[in-house]
Amino acid sequence: MSRNAESTAFRSALEVVRGVEPRVADAIAAELADQRESLKLIASENYASPATLLAMGNWFSDKYAEGTVGRRFYAGCQNVDTVEALAAEHARELFGASHAYVQPHSGIDANLVAFWAVLADRVESPALRKAQARQVNDLTEADWFALRRELGNQRMLGMSLDAGGHLTHGFRPNISGKMFDQRSYGTDPATGLIDYDRVAEAAREFKPLILVAGYSAYPRKVNFRIMREIADSVGATFMVDMAHFAGLVAGKVFTGDFDPVPHAHIVTTTTHKSLRGPRGGMVLCGPELADQVDRGCPMVLGGPLPHVMAAKAVALAEARRPDFADYAQRIVYNAQALADGLLRRGATLVTGGTDNHLVLIDVSGYGLTGRQAEQALLDSGIVTNRNSVPQDPNGAWYTSGIRIGTPALTTRGLGTAEMDATAELIHTVLSQTTPGTGPDGAPSKAKYVLDPAVAESVGKQAADLLTPFPLYPAVDLG
């Protein structure tokens, strides 16, 4: 696509929207302006290509397409079949998987599809066999009771939230925590690293049906070969949620023992984050689980979103290009440079560094909570998110950590020199911020004090840092 074509496409689209609801058009334009001017360091965010964005805004949005390719419950889905098949083909080739299911609307949806596929495959139940045979009307109340009891009483072992695990790995606020009897494995208190011997010990004691690996705030690689051996030793299904690091797998930065696809029975992911596609999910598996996974709609999902599947196909095609591997490697180089810059300035990092795309700062060393640090950085044009650290005394709301990641800034073209400058800006803000007090004068975990002049100065430096790396340079909204 030519630079002029991109600009024309987005400008024309906003003009059409503005003709119906100008406030929406204004908000879209304002979002682009905000993203252009901010140091986006949220580890789970990125910038999709213009082609990926444009693939979502079309007539596929109007289609119902329950079912799978060639087996739809609605007529007229031949074009949906084309884009879904393309997305699945690109996913299989990109990750070396035998089967790909690209319908999930999100990472949570992808995990639910995986959970139910494993339950349906592993749990012996006459009621379940009837349901699988589409004899649902023949199920008695006793059958339903047995089905609920058996499917809702299985065991899952996953990484704890404060160690870097994800809410969807069996924790109570999420439906997965209500589906499973869940237990967590943590990290070594001294190093912050996974202790595989302790994971094996927990698996032997707990005997889970599903062993889950994957993370949202663990800054190191995971050895999936060892995790599979642990799962096999107790007869568990090994599931990996690679939503955060899928781009590093696609770009062949994580290979061998650190590539989950050859080792896991089933793998889930989002299609955005480090993969740089549209917001959505995906499931990869072998042939033994493929039929169960393909029942994701209507088992768990609502109707597929064909326009998003079209965008997934575009993004996955982009990820198969040689330059994506270079991009993925630069993500890690940048994260390591950012970590090194922070360490040199006295920051405390969980695990002392990073092997992947994210860095976790323990801001208690600055005398702050994660919430105070997050807001002070936002005031200064640096977008991050607060996050728990292992054994966090401030809990999951206030937290003691800040999670930062490099996928988005790497997409913009920033390199290791800019990461060191970014570390300086972060350190300046955190070292100049102090805790505030509540109305009663007591110390507050949310209130903070930062000289507006410092925030303004850092914001200007952040903007200057971004100037040589324009976001969507071909898009001029006029």
Residues involved in catalysis: 64, 66, 241, 270, 273, 279
Residue 160: name the closest of 109, 217, 239, 222 by CA.
Answer: 217
* Separation of alpha carbons 344 and 340, rounded Å: 6
Q: Which two tokens stand for residue 241?
A: 């949620």
DSSP 224-242: HHHHHHHHHHHTPEEEEE-
> Distance between CA atoms of 282 and 101, rounded to whole angstroms?
6
DSSP string, 418-465: HHHHHHHHHHHHHHH-EEEE-TTS-EEEEEEE--HHHHHHHHHHHHHH
Compute the 3-state secondary structure of the chain and give helix, strand, coil in percent, each to the nearest 5. Answer: 50, 15, 35
Q: Are 294 and 101 in contact (CB under 8 A)?
A: yes
Alpha-carbon gap, residue 97 to 267, rounded angstroms: 9
DSSP conformational letter for 349:
B
CA dist 429 → 132, 133, 369, 382, 449 (Å): 57, 61, 14, 10, 11
3-state secondary structure of 104: coil
For residues 404 and 38, give the distance between their C-alpha atoms in angstroms, rounded to a whole number. Answer: 14
Could you tell me which of 187, 195, 125 has the C-alpha nearest to residue 153? 125
DSSP state of 350: G
Longest dimension (CA), the chain: 71
Q: Which tokens sit at 57?
A: 């805004």
- Residue 97 near residue 261 (C-beta atoms within 8 A): yes
Task: Report d(CA 45, CA 383) in Å as an integer.
Answer: 10
Instruction: State how far Cα 27 lies from the chain centre.
Output: 25
